[in-house]
Amino acid sequence: MTFRRHCIKEAAEQVIKLKQHLPVQTLGCRTDRCGTTIRRDKIMWGMIATWRMAAEGVEKGAHMLAEGQNAGDAIETAIREVEDFPYYKSVGYGGLPNEEMEVELDAAYMDGDTLDIGAVAAVKDYANPVSIARRLSREKVNSMLVGEGAEKFAHKEGFERKNMLTDRAKAHYRNRVKEQRELELKPYSGHDTVGMVCLDSAGKVTAATSTSGLFMKKKGRVGDSPIAGSGFYADSKVGGASATGLGEDLMKGCISYEIVRLMKEGMHPQEACETAVNRLDAELKARRGEAGDLSLIAMNKDGEWGVATNIEGFSFAVVTEEKETQVYLVERQEDGHCTYAPASEEWMEEYMRTRMAPVVEK
């Protein structure tokens, strides 16, 4: 038998073996020693997101992915679910205002197949900024718009106008003003961006973010969330990452892109997240004496995922074709390694109880 015929025969046997025995999460394609490209039988879909607040959105996205829908539609639906829930104070409707008691929203969307990016920043009075961002991703130029320009575009495209400042948010604002005056508290707190990465069964990877940013921020302040490479990044050939935390520090490391770059070099998402977070945390402390909150999630093209943080209390939600939606709590070890465990029913109940409790003005 010639070497060429031997290679063809071995490749055929490999394909049959792959179809019969490989698990669902074995993905993409590879090249065997004969130089023959072998495609995997099936790609495992999945989605991962920052914070417990994303769980219901992730569950909705999972149903869409299970039906074979694409990662763009699934991630937009998932983010909108968070944006529309008025009891989450850092995203969309009910988001906490800036120092002038205005709700300014940032959002972004990235298509990992084409590398198209759309983003809006400091946009007011529109219900779902992530949908505006996704629409902008189809523009060859002018794909990131801010403030009045973003609002004019949204109006022209027929997006829903809505007063995003709720009575709860007004009460939080007045309480914080009083606390600042009486207790000398720092105004800036609350920066829990919802960031997601999604993989569909066709191998498409997307990333998206949405946030109202820092509570009591300066008018016009923009953090990392709508900035490609910092708040998010997606490449269907590799995977995607998204961030939450103090945007001013996350931007110093272009950290979402860095995680995707490390995955491209062969790191597992968990190792890539820990490496990027620990390096930036150490660099900021060495140069500036301190580091703000840095929390990252990632998923690669094989459906493998990872998380890392430099704070206590970080949570995330994840789902895959083989694993139901689960919320995890993250614990950072002294050496920078992050472990996680499923959130208990008691923790989940307390989370929602505190979020939905009445706001009493002081």
Q: Is 193 a catalytic residue?
A: yes
Distance CA 362, CA 163 (A): 25
Q: Which one from 193, 309, 320, 325 is the annotated catalytic residue? A: 193
Q: Are 188 and 214 in contact (CB under 8 A)?
A: yes
One-letter amino acid at 169 equals: A
One-letter amino acid at 349 equals: E
CA distances from 105 to 39, 95, 217, 262, 351 (A): 42, 8, 12, 30, 24
Distance CA 199, CA 322 (A): 13
User: Comparing C-alpha atoms, which of 155, 213, 150 is closest to residue 187?
Assistant: 213
Q: Are 255 and 272 in contact (CB under 8 A)?
A: no
One-letter amino acid at 33 equals: R
H or E segment to which residue 328 belongs: strand 323-332
H or E segment to which residue 199 belongs: strand 194-199
Distance CA 356, CA 100 (A): 24
Helix then strand count (H, E) for the chain reads 10, 15
Distance CA 99, CA 102 (A): 7
Catalytic residues: 193
